Structure 1
Amino acid sequence: MEEKNRVVRMETSKGTMKLELYATRAPKTVERFMTAVNAGKYDGLKFHRIIKDFMVQGGDPQSNGMGGGSVKFEGSDVKHIPGVISMAAQQAHVDQSDMQFFIMTSTSDQLDGNYTAFGHVTKGMEVLGAIAATPVAQAPWGECSRPVEDVCIVKASEILD
């Protein structure tokens, strides 16, 4: 019997998105993400990195995929197109973060097969666009990606049918 995809309602300070997660394509990643969602670990966290015409990144920035809580790289056959959700990692093919994810705002073929894409936005692409349109400033590491205003995940919760 094929496992059913999981669904998350993500309320943000810019509106609400609905996410569908691919339980059979990236089972460990989906399970880890859902454990954090159901424990309320994303509630109150920020989208702390926004790169224009690329992606928005949220979750716990202290969770970098190095050490105790990281998840082994699963890969996936999902293309990194607008609305696709993927797990952050220090670099391609390494252990991924246990709490940081990013949502694509454009297509990026170079990420395909290198980062674990595990779901997509099914409702609220306009919310993703509003998050992506948040003005940014230079981050301490030199990248112009730090939002100048807080964009928060108010609450993430699983939708059960």
Structure 2
Amino acid sequence: MKKSIAVAFAAMMLLTGCGQKVVIDGEPAPPSAQETAVVTMGEPANHTLESIPDTSDNTIVITLRPDCAPLTCENFENLVKDGFYSGLTFHRVVDDFMAQGGDPAGNGTGGSGMTVKGEFANNGVENNLYHKRGVVSMARSMAPDSASCQFFICYTDASFLDGDYAAFGEVTEGMNVVDDFLKVPRSMGSDNAVSAPDTPITIKSIEMIEDDADGNPRAKITMEDFLK
């Protein structure tokens, strides 16, 4: 039960940087911080282990799903092609929940200067990509169309996020690298969870690679050695 409560609270704190003041549990966040309240909270679904091929070179391959979230995929692909993510970090790593990164501020408050329409059911958009292990989705503020550049990768099934966050891709190679993020010592973060890596988990680069057999775009994340 304690773990479920911790995960639920962490889910309320998917941070982006759009400049609003949001009240979480009665305490106002600083005006520069963006804390996302999940509309429908509940117990996380059972952890479903997916068979995702490992990589041995610190790389993660994400297959984008423009059939589910075309605008989100286009936004992500444009950022990748611009080299936006090079040198950024995964600043939040939460056991049994997710790893969040892609923030130029490095603390959950930054953005790219652009936002994208929230492609999820509670914002009037059908999206059949559900939050399970390996799924990649956009962090946002309480404003439905506030997603910018920050994304997260699910460690476990998190069906309580379905309908409220724009899932747009899946890790199809290298989930073992994402799992290794959990080996980095972490301290208490602004989400009141042990989520803030003590040493940076840095993205060396993200590049678009050859589409998969179904024509879905793919992105390869190359990580710096974060387990030195």
Partner of 1:71: 116
* Alpha-carbon displacement from aligned partner over 1:112-139 (angstroms, at most 9, x marks no partner): 1110000000100111110133221012
* Alpha-carbon displacement from aligned partner over 1:4-55 (angstroms, at most 9, x marks no partner): xxxxxxxxxx810111000121000000000000000001000001111100
> Distance in 1 between the 2:66 and 2:148 partners?
16
Partner of 1:154: 204
Unaligned runs of 5+ in 2: 1-56, 121-126, 212-228
Matching residue within 82, 87, 93 for 2:133? 82
Partner of 1:9: none
* Alpha-carbon displacement from aligned partner over 1:72-130 (angstroms, at most 9, x marks no partner): 11112211111000000123x71242110000001111001110000000100111110
For normalisation by structure 1, the TM-score amounts to 0.83
Determine if contact 2:115/2:146 at 8 Å carries over to the other structure.
yes
Identity %: 38
Where does structure 1 differ by over 4 angstroms across 4 or more consecutive aligned residues?
A: none
Partner of 2:97: 54
- Does residue 1:115 correspond to 2:165, yes or no? yes
Could you say which structure has the greater relative contact order, defined with CA pairs below 8 angstroms and 6 or more residues apart?
Answer: 1
Unaligned runs of 5+ in 1: 1-13
Matching residue within 123, 130, 150 for 1:100? 150
Larger strand fraction of residues: 1
Compute the RMSD of aligned alpha carbons: 1.9
State the number of aligned residues. 145
Determine if contact 2:140/2:148 at 8 Å carries over to the other structure.
no
For normalisation by structure 2, the TM-score amounts to 0.59
Secondary structure of the equivalent of 1:18? strand
Matching residue within 22, 26, 29 for 2:69? 26
